[in-house]
């Protein structure tokens, strides 16, 4: 089941997040094709900025730290309007005002009261708010010179910061953060949010994001390949209808388990049921089968050959027999990292004809060999690593993955020829064609053991229901996040556990 693409090129359940280049194209279209004066766009941007600033700091001095580009011009408009409203505003300039041109220069000339002055003395200690108007969405690379000094001055001041379009030092297109970068409590971004405001580590520097209408006419060419997952997606999920049976609702096979790790496949199986699967089977080590028989009352269990509790490649024929009913295979929860278990995983990847979710220890079968996931595969694949697991697949450090999450998830999807779900509060879902769906997040309670196994089960259920992998992965991420939010409301985000999330899935799924 696919979704129609919007004019942005993305499915209709993704809110487009245009990168810097595409945002410049939108501005140029408004100015050149629709005749909107660029000075008018800047005026509206600055007016919204001033209003937001007054809301964040109802009293006290406001400091505008401006650069020489249009971002600085937006800050100058806000300074003028705030002064017109009776607020005390200092305007500090990184560099020399003589460098201003165009619309920014025009707004410098309109500025009443004291002129901008240099940052030599730092930022006043009694500032109620700082407006970061240094760098815009087009800035890339490490800040240097007076801009770097200005960022240091902002960071040295205890006042909260309102960023203009994007926090200085953050790449708006990717979320990559420079060594020097502003840490904002809020960001006013113009016309549409940008990827770097929603993708870590830039997301943590953005604070509360407010999208501001600056008068771009309707019909702007809003093209993007990154989008925020909308809740409307959940309304497109298959439902059980009159005449449905347990197999048409979706059959899921969960293969995993090993000594000390029997809980993982259990949680995946129960999550698959709560997410809509009609028939769930766990394929588990024979020596541990009693554990699963006792714990899973509504799930079928099938014992496979094992070696000291680890699944073996010899169990693959029975697994493929189970998979012949159709549906989806969740491979890896609690499977362990023995040679036998990892051999079982590699054999299943190359021989299963069911869509596969590869998670947890199963990913270790391809440590340092990410490209091999695309070899001799018969079925669609979704992998669900966290940063450390993706780092092992690449053979790099988890810090490298964390610093460039968007780049690495896209590259992994391309190399593996699979949909990749890079977990985190900003979970990213990438397909091999370069599209990326971003979770709105706000789910710190999910940072607890077992929630990844829950996500795998949800994803297996949606694949078994017939959703194509990219849509299934995005929907699973959103269902999982919303169930996590409901669990946190009931149990507190610091005390909730993975089974609490499972309990909330059916309510979120049916709303």
Structure tokens at 238: 């298959």
Bridge partners of 227, per DSSP, are 16, 437
**pLDDT over 70 at 5, yes or no:** no
Residue 441 to residue 74: CA distance in whole angstroms = 29
pLDDT single digits (tens) 149-171:
999 999 999 999 999 999 999 99
Distances (CA, A) of 402 to 123, 247, 388: 32, 40, 9
Residue 256 to residue 358: CA distance in whole angstroms = 11
Distances (CA, A) of 384 to 196, 363, 438, 467: 22, 9, 14, 17
Label the pairing between strands 129-133 and 62-66. parallel
Residue 429: its H or E element: strand 428-430
Give the torsion through C-alpha atoms of 295, 452, 354, 434, to 10 deg: 170
pLDDT single digits (tens) 290-330:
999 999 888 999 999 999 999 999 999 999 999 988 899 99
The full 3-state SS of 311-339, as one line of letters, equals: ECHHHHHHHHHHHCCCCEEEECCCCCCCH
CB-based burial label for 304 (10 Å; 0-12, 13-18, 19+):
buried
**pLDDT over 90 at 409, yes or no:** yes
Mean pLDDT of 216-239: 93
**pLDDT over 80 at 2, yes or no:** no
pLDDT single digits (tens) 222-233:
899 999 999 999
Residue 500 to residue 486: CA distance in whole angstroms = 9
Structure tokens at 212: 């501001």
Fold of 247-510: 3.40.1190
CB-based burial label for 49 (10 Å; 0-12, 13-18, 19+):
buried
What's the pLDDT at 245? 54
Quote the DSSP letter at residue 300: E
The phi-psi region of residue 376 (left if phi > 0; otherwise alpha if psi is between -120 and 50; otherwise beta) is left
- Superfamily the domain 17-224 falls into: YjeF N-terminal domain (3.40.50.10260)
What's the pLDDT at 211? 97
Place of tokens 């490209």: 371
Q: Within 10 A of 270 (CB to CB), how many other CB atoms are there?
A: 24
**pLDDT over 70 at 354, yes or no:** yes
Percent of the chain with pLDDT over 90: 88
Mean pLDDT of 418-429: 97
Bridge partners of 92, per DSSP, are 65, 117
pTM (2 d.p.): 0.94
What's the pLDDT at 136? 87
pLDDT single digits (tens) 425-481:
999 999 999 999 999 988 888 999 999 999 999 999 999 999 999 999 999 999 999
pLDDT single digits (tens) 78-127:
999 999 999 999 999 998 888 899 999 999 999 999 999 888 878 999 99
CB-based burial label for 295 (10 Å; 0-12, 13-18, 19+):
middle
Is the C-alpha dihedral spanning 468, 471, 475, 477 positive or negative?
positive
**CB proximity list for 35: less than 8 A, separation 6 or greater:** none
What's the pLDDT at 4? 56
Residue 366 to residue 368: CA distance in whole angstroms = 6
Question: Would you kindly state where each structural domain of the chain is located, as residue ranges?
Answer: 17-224, 247-510
**CB proximity list for 489: less than 8 A, separation 6 or greater:** none
Mean pLDDT of 380-391: 97
Backbone angles phi, psi at 360, to 5 degrees: 55, -135
Cis peptide before 73 (omega within 30 of 0): no
**pLDDT over 60 at 242, yes or no:** no
Residue 250 to residue 247: CA distance in whole angstroms = 5
What's the pLDDT at 325? 84
């Amino acid at each position: 089941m696919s979704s129609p693409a919007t004019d942005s090129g993305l499915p209709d359940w993704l809110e487009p997040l245009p990168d810097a280049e595409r945002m410049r194209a939108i501005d140029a279209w408004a100015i050149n094709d629709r005749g909107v004066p660029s000075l008018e766009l800047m005026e509206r941007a600055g007016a919204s900025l001033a209003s937001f600033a007054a809301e964040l700091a109802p009293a006290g001095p406001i400091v505008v730290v401006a650069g020489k580009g249009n971002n600085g011009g937006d800050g100058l408009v806000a300074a003028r309007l705030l002064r017109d409203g009776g607020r005390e505003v200092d305007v500090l300039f990184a560099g020399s005002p003589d460098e201003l041109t165009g619309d920014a220069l025009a707004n410098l000339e309109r500025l009443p009261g004291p002129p901008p002055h240099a940052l030599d003395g730092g930022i006043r200690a009694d500032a109620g708010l700082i407006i970061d108007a240094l760098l815009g969405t087009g800035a890339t690379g490490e800040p240097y010179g007076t801009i770097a000094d200005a960022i240091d001055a902002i960071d040295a001041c205890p006042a909260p910061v309102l960023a203009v379009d994007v926090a200085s030092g953050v790449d708006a297109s990717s979320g990559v953060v420079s060594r020097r970068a502003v840490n904002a409590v809020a960001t006013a971004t113009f016309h549409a949010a940008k990827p770097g405001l929603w993708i870590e580590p830039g997301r943590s520097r953005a604070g509360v994001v407010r999208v501001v209408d600056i008068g771009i006419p309707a019909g702007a060419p809003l093209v993007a390949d990154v989008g925020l997952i909308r809740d409307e997606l959940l309304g497109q999920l298959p439902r059980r209808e009159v005449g449905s049976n347990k197999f048409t609702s979706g059959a899921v096979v969960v293969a995993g388990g090993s000594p000390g790790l029997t809980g993982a496949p259990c949680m995946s199986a129960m999550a698959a049921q709560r997410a809509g699967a009609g028939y769930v089977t766990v394929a588990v080590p024979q020596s541990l089968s009693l554990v699963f028989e006792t714990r899973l009352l509504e799930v079928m269990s099938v014992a496979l050959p094992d070696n000291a509790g680890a699944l073996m490649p010899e169990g693959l024929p029975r697994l493929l027999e189970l998979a012949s009913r159709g549906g989806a295979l969740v491979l890896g929860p609690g499977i362990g990292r023995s040679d036998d278990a990892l051999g079982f995983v590699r054999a299943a990847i190359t021989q299963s004809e069911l869509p596969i979710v590869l998670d947890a220890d199963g990913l270790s079968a391809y440590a340092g060999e990410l490209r091999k996931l695309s070899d001799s595969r018969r079925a669609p694949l979704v992998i669900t690593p966290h940063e450390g697991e993706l780092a092992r697949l690449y053979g790099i450090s988890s810090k490298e993955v964390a610093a460039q999450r968007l780049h690495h998830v896209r590259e992994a999807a391309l190399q593996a020829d699979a949909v990749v779900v890079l977990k985190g509060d900003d979970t990213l879902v990438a397909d091999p064609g370069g599209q990326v769906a971003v979770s709105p997040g706000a789910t710190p309670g999910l940072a607890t053991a077992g929630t990844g196994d829950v996500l795998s089960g949800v994803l297996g259920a949606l694949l078994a229901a017939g959703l194509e992998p990219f849509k299934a992965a995005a929907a699973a991420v959103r269902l999982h996040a919303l169930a996590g939010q409901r669990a946190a409301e009931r149990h507190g985000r610091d005390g909730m556990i993975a089974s609490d999330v499972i309990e909330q899935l059916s309510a979120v799924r049916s709303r």
